[in-house]
Amino acid sequence: MRPSSTSRYAGISAGVIALVCLFVLLVWFGTLDGRWLFRPDEGRYAEISREMFASGDWVTIRYNALKYFEKPPFHMWVTAITYTLAGVGDWQARLCVALSGVVGAVASMAAAARWYGARAALLTGLVLIAAPMWTVTAHFNALDMTLSGAMACVLAFMLIAQHPDATPTARRNWMLACWAAMGVAILTKGLVGLALPGLVLVVYTLVTRDFALWGRLHLVKGIVLMLAVTVPWFWLISERNPAFLHFFFIHEHWERYTSTVHSRQGAIWYFVPLLVAGFLPWLGLTPRMWAVAREHAPVTGAGHATRPLRAGLLAMLWAVSIFVFFSLSDSKLPGYIVPVFPALGILAGAALDHINDRSWNRQITAMQVLAVIGLIACPFVWRMDRPSTPNEVYREFTLWILAAFVVMLAAAVIARRLLQSRGVMPSILAYSLGFFLSITLALQGHDAMGRRASGIALLPAIRAVLTPDMPFYGVGMLDHTLPFYLAHPLVMVEHPDELEFGTQQEPDKWLPTMAAFADRWRNGPRALAVMAPQTFDALRAERLPMHTIAADNRRIVVSNFIPDATQAGQATGPAASQPQPSQQ
């Protein structure tokens, strides 16, 4: 809606833009298979989708063969479809979030293009790929990015629909797309997909007194469409599982938000450092983003609404309202605020569209300072050593972090030179790609930690002994990654963890006491069990027959029988290099 900026933004051809997009997509999707799944979320949702794919039941969600009604199925549906088309694996498990990140970015770019022009749209995309929270979340198999991708579409379609130059037909179609996106958001993470956009609109109309906006939302048709997207699954699962409605809507929504039932409480400022770190490359734009939010859109012709939508203000209120909403909740997790980033990306893209050389030069300097601080910190990380994470893990991780900060520093140098020789736009491009590559390198390096958490080193030993019909017990612990990699759910023992609802619905599928487990272990069929080292020592003291199959510093896998010679040889190999529990 603003006039074009100076020629200092020239210097990037359509061919260069196409190459940059291709490069970003190759890195974005090409790194999905570069890390083992991390617990708990990645393993959990990969396994839920695998069980859905294996059973053919796409209505009743199960985890570890138990009913699991904490979240709706959209994310798992997409992943199960991916398994069907491309097989079961790590990158297949992460494809849904990666696609959601791209869809959210593209939708945000489309809204920015409609309101602020094509260059602002490109800048919005560059802002989002260089925002650590957006890129990292788009590469972790959890529901936060799938929800955020749908929510980005809700915001973008609303902005496009309410543009002053939109025809009645275009407004209706984009608003219907907005309502459909809300339906997808509800099918991803529940009523929050409707509550958050509704909250933002209420706040916006109270601030602007533009109550006429509600008459342009196509409420009746939109609600019907949203219900058509969401109701079939809710109706089917309620028909098959009468306990679903109370658990899902009361426990998972009201009690989760208003209480500490899930032990996820945090201070009122819990999300502040996450927002700062997640939008770190663009924090210097905050004053300019505020200026964008305060702009009024001009009326460009007859027949327009007398009070057209203020796109920048709506985007700002979107970010602030969602941030405050989750800050006031008694249940907090880092990924909850990811939906604010598309709105921030649009504001930052519009702000960058008019930044001058001097201001941008200061931003580059801040990037250089950050890179230098990171390089100085690397030797300290190199020397870290903890019982749960030995020094060799930190050393491996440090090499990746070192490479990330070297790339960041080099990108800052290149960005400064491009600013002097080619102008602002090529400099912003180099800056953004530098941050994007730095984030990607650090994320890939995180596998040094993730491998240990996933228990991947134990798999060969377990596979040598485990058969498809053999019980595999989770004694006092729910391991979130082994079931997926072994394609074999755990039978929970004593502590149901987050599967309490499922064990209540199907009590015959778990062992509620250690005494029941001891009896089944002694007198039942051949079986394996995974447990913490402390549990292993306690059960050995009770003289339960336990033969170590594999172990690391987090878990021990044992059998109630002596493996044959071939199995024993394979079992002791992978576990030999791992810390062994005490033997009695």
DSSP letter for 527, please: -
| Res. 331: pLDDT tops 60 | yes
Question: Would you state the pLDDT for residue 191?
Answer: 93
The C-alpha angle 212, 215, 219, rounded to 5 degrees, equals 145
Pair of tokens at residue 531: 């447990």
Task: State mean pLDDT over 492-496.
Answer: 94
Q: At what angle do helices 143-161 and 74-86 cross, to 10 degrees?
A: 110
Question: Would you state the pLDDT for residue 219?
Answer: 97
Model pTM? 0.91
Cα 337 to Cα 105, 140, 247, 257, 279, distances in angstroms = 16, 15, 24, 14, 12
Instruction: Output 573 or 161, whichever has higher pLDDT.
Output: 161
Q: CA–CA separation, 36 vs 453, rounded Å?
A: 9
Place of tokens 């196509």: 218
DSSP 249-260: IIIIIIIHHHS-
Cβ proximity of 101 and 138 under 8 Å: yes
Pairing of strands 528-531, 491-493: unpaired
78-116: pLDDT as tens digits: 999 999 999 999 999 999 999 999 999 999 999 999 999
| Res. 3: pLDDT tops 90 | no
Question: Would you state the pLDDT for residue 288?
Answer: 96
Q: What percent of the chain has pLDDT over 70?
A: 90
Cα 121 to Cα 23, 117, 296, 396, distances in angstroms = 18, 6, 19, 38
Give every CB contact of residue 3 below 8 A, 6+ residues apart in sequence.
none
Question: Would you state the pLDDT for residue 386?
Answer: 86
Give domain limits for the chain: 99-352, 371-388+396-448, 456-576
Question: Would you state the pLDDT for residue 553?
Answer: 85
Pair of tokens at residue 239: 């028909």
Task: Band the pLDDT of 300: cuts 50, 70, 90.
Answer: very low
| DSSP E strand stretches across 114-266 | none
Question: Would you state the pLDDT for residue 513?
Answer: 96
358-396: pLDDT as tens digits: 999 999 999 999 999 999 999 999 999 888 788 998 999
| Res. 353: pLDDT tops 50 | yes
Q: CA–CA separation, 404 vs 235, rounded Å?
A: 49
Question: Would you state the pLDDT for residue 568?
Answer: 53
Q: CA–CA separation, 463 vs 549, rounded Å?
A: 10
| Res. 302: pLDDT tops 80 | no
Question: Would you state the pLDDT for residue 387?
Answer: 80
| Res. 307: pLDDT tops 80 | no
Question: Would you state the pLDDT for residue 126?
Answer: 98
Task: Band the pLDDT of 1: cuts 50, 70, 90.
Answer: very low
211-242: pLDDT as tens digits: 999 999 999 999 999 999 999 999 999 999 99
Topology of 456-576 in CATH? Rossmann fold (3.40.50)
173-224: pLDDT as tens digits: 999 999 999 999 999 999 999 999 999 999 999 999 999 999 999 999 999 9
103-157: pLDDT as tens digits: 999 999 999 999 999 999 999 999 999 999 999 999 999 999 999 999 999 999 9
Pair of tokens at residue 16: 């260069």
Question: Would you state the pLDDT for residue 575?
Answer: 41
Closest CA to 98 of 181, 191, 193, 33: 33
Cβ proximity of 273 and 267 under 8 Å: no
Pair of tokens at residue 159: 């902005």
504-549: pLDDT as tens digits: 999 999 999 999 999 999 999 999 999 999 999 999 999 999 999 9
Task: Band the pLDDT of 296: cuts 50, 70, 90.
Answer: confident
22-81: pLDDT as tens digits: 999 999 999 999 999 988 899 999 999 999 999 999 999 999 999 999 999 999 999 999
Q: In whole angstroms, what separates CA 566 from the centre of its chain?
A: 42
Task: State mean pLDDT over 269-298.
Answer: 92
Task: Band the pLDDT of 565: cuts 50, 70, 90.
Answer: low
Q: Give me the amino acid identity at 460.
A: P
Question: Would you state the pLDDT for residue 255?
Answer: 64
How much is the mean pLDDT over the chain? 90
Cβ proximity of 533 and 515 under 8 Å: no
Determine whether 387 is exposed, middle or buried from the number of CB atoms within 10 Å of its CB (0-12, 13-18, 19+): exposed
Q: Give me the amino acid identity at 238.
A: S
Question: Would you state the pLDDT for residue 569?
Answer: 52
Cβ proximity of 292 and 347 under 8 Å: yes
Question: Would you state the pLDDT for residue 11?
Answer: 61
Q: In the Cβ-directed half-sphere of 342, how many Cα atoms lie within 13 Å? A: 32
Q: Give me the amino acid identity at 317.
A: L
